Structure 1
Amino acid sequence: MDRLDEINAFIAVADARSFTHAARRLEVSSAQVSKLVARLENRLGARLLNRTTRDVSLTDIGRAYLDRARQVLEDFATLESSVSEQSGPRGLLRLSAPVSFGAAELVPALLEFAAAYPDISLDVTSTDRMVNLVEEGFDVAVRIGLLSDSSLVARKLAAVRMVTCAAPDYLARTGSPTTIGDLTAHEAVIDTNLADPTLWRFGVEGAPADVRVRGRLRFSGAPACVAAAVAGFGVTRVPAFAAAEALRAGRIKALLCDFEPEQIHVHAVYPHARHLAPKVRAFVDFLARRYAGEPEWHQGWS
């Protein structure tokens, strides 16, 4: 088992390019990781990593060894999983999820999952930061929108409409926009989590169309934007799951529905592995079943 610990430490450092980040992922000290890698190099009689004060990189021998080392660990994981699968998924599942989606939609699903799989423990981090799953030791992440990391496996869970909306009393004062160009005359409540917060993208006759908006209220999250819109401070544009409850209650009204852009999607993403851990497979399959069909956040208001 000591040799497997050495190999695991080496892979973690190679992936993270840092002994500190590898130690965080493995939940041990940096000194312990350094000791394991040094012991592996001494036993092999070869230097696997180049170390500087700012960076860690693979030597040519280390790069060749890394591929075989991954296979060894995957084979070992396959062996253990073949036994654990007989008694069902179990163990600790570390999950990263966006703050707004977690608060609005994911928490009820997580509680259902926890009830259905009592042998799986959940450690959930709610953050809008794009975490590095491998470096930070997450098993799976829920992400919304475009996926940029091609090194991860992605499973589409659900579609999400981007909804432009405002309170009836605000619209009574200002009038309702009928074209996207009308938004330039309105006060916008801006979600700074968007890549370009003041550039709102729509679709006009099947083609993308952008409009630059302005507003004095900015929030780093859709729930606060919805609350401001309900209070009559202006027009906001948020994912449907964040606005659905207020839309159904009539506290805000959907606008410019004929100009909505293409829907974005919710994905479950996880690192490539030749043998997927039963706990990860169980979780991703559960979410896929939970969100199958037309999402509930699109129903009851449009």
Structure 2
Amino acid sequence: MSFDLKSIQLFTRIAALGQIGAAGREFRLSPTSATQRIKALENVLGTRLLNRSTRSVSLTPDGEAFLRHATNIVASMDEAYSELSGEAEVSGTLRVTSSATFGRLYIMPHLRRFMDLHPKLELELNLSDTVLDMVEGGFDLALRIGVLRDSQLLAKKLAPCRRVLVASPCYLEKHLPISTPADLSVHECLVDGYKNSWRFRHPDGREENVRVSGRFKSNIGEAFSAAALDGFGVAALSLWHAHVALKQGALRVVLPEVELLPDWNIYAVQTSTGHTPARVRVFREFMEAELKLQQPIWEEALR
């Protein structure tokens, strides 16, 4: 019995992406060639590893059992190669997705330095305000903000994502004072189209829900920020998004003594293959370090 390492590597990527074609492209294989390699691996093992359909594949019970061994094999071979060859540079193609605003402000400005650190690495960055399916999109890593839904994905918290209520000085001067969360019920509030309440935590730990409404609705923070700056009303923005306007005085914090719930965080999310490729690990660690440097800058806007 003999095993082809490339076929084992291919199998782990198919398991992660859920698609033979997408995994094959990473190895510069056509869908037909990738399928033939998996069939050859199944013949050696004497069992079927994948359930195939016209659009996707899934693991059989034997495939799930073999995946645990395959990920260990791939990880061990990667480590052995790096140690014996002295190879310190990360290579391959890294596919990352993030929200458009966060990516523009906090990924793009640092990419030149990251790419210089890893000259053999290719990076594909997809910026979208739609939460994309990682498996269907073939992504290695996603940077996501908010509260994560239960899933089979692995998540690492990179930084907290404090949110604040903000409004422009002109809006606040023309409308009734906002002294308590309940006062928001008579104000123009910039909300997601499907949400009609904000939840707060008071300094004593008490929580409060307030029904809010407004004439302007959107689904992305960029629109809320622009609308708040133009005096449309009160918006709930992440501090990383609002801190420049706050420091410049273009926006003011509303109700600074209460916290918006639920608590949000910034996460690096990856598929749960049991092994983190070096290209994913170095980018995740790079972004975590950059966000730690940014947090004090964000918080300065509240001082």
Give the TM-score range, shorter chain. Answer: 0.7 to 0.9
Instruction: Name the count of aligned residue pairs.
Output: 299
Query: Cα distance, 1:120 vs. partner?
Result: 3.4
CA distance in 1 between partners of 2:271 and 2:301 (Å): 36
Query: Cα distance, 1:74 vs. partner?
Result: 2.3
Higher mean Cα deviation, 220-229 or 57-66? 57-66
1:218 is the counterpart of 2:228 = no
User: Matches of residues 226-241 of structure 1 in structure 2 within 5 Å?
Assistant: 226-241=225-240
CA distance in 2 between partners of 1:55 and 1:156 (Å): 30
Q: Which residue in 2 is equivalent to 1:167?
A: 168
With the length of structure 2 as denominator, give the TM-score of the two structures: 0.82
Could you report, residue by residue, the CA deviation over 1:43-97 in whole angstroms, capped at 9, with x for unpaired residues? 4443333445677444443333333233222222222333576434444332222
CA distance in 2 between partners of 1:76 and 1:57 (Å): 25
With the length of structure 1 as denominator, give the TM-score of the two structures: 0.82
Higher mean Cα deviation, 28-37 or 247-256? 28-37
1:286 is the counterpart of 2:263 = no
Task: Tell me: CA distance 1:64–1:269, structure 2 relative to 1, closer, same or farther (3 Å).
Answer: closer
1:7 is the counterpart of 2:8 = yes
Q: Which residue in 2 is equivalent to 1:125?
A: 126
1:202 is the counterpart of 2:200 = yes
Query: SS of the counterpart of 1:261?
Result: strand
Query: SS of the counterpart of 1:258?
Result: coil
CA distance in 2 between partners of 1:11 and 1:218 (Å): 43
User: Matches of residues 63-212 of structure 1 in structure 2 within 5 Å?
Assistant: 63-83=64-84, 86-133=87-134, 136-148=137-149, 151-191=152-192, 197-204=195-202, 205-212=204-211
Which letter does structure 1 place at the counterpart of 2:238? P
CA distance in 1 between partners of 2:197 and 2:28 (Å): 41
CA distance in 1 between partners of 2:71 and 2:280 (Å): 19
Provide runs of 4+ in structure 1 moved above 6 Å. Answer: none
Query: Cα distance, 1:260 vs. partner?
Result: 1.6
Which letter does structure 1 place at the counterpart of 2:290? R
Query: Cα distance, 1:173 vs. partner?
Result: 1.6
Contact 2:17 2:138 in 1 (8 A): no
Task: Tell me: CA distance 1:10–1:289, structure 2 relative to 1, closer, same or farther (3 Å).
Answer: closer
CA distance in 2 between partners of 1:123 and 1:42 (Å): 35
Task: Tell me: CA distance 1:275–1:63, structure 2 relative to 1, closer, same or farther (3 Å).
Answer: closer
Could you report, residue by residue, the CA deviation over 1:220-273 in whole angstroms, capped at 9, with x for unpaired residues? 211211111111111111111111121111112110111123652223334567
Q: How many percent identity over aligned positions?
A: 34
Contact 1:208 1:261 in 2 (8 A): no
Contact 2:3 2:41 in 1 (8 A): no
Could you report, residue by residue, the CA deviation over 1:176-235 in whole angstroms, capped at 9, with x for unpaired residues? 31111111111112245xxx6333221123133222211221222112111111111111
Higher mean Cα deviation, 251-260 or 279-288? 279-288
Query: SS of the counterpart of 2:232?
Result: coil
Task: Tell me: CA distance 1:30–1:158, structure 2 relative to 1, closer, same or farther (3 Å).
Answer: same
Could you report, residue by residue, the CA deviation over 1:102-142 in whole angstroms, capped at 9, with x for unpaired residues? 12323223333234444433321112344454554433322
Task: Tell me: CA distance 1:252–1:181, structure 2 relative to 1, closer, same or farther (3 Å).
Answer: same
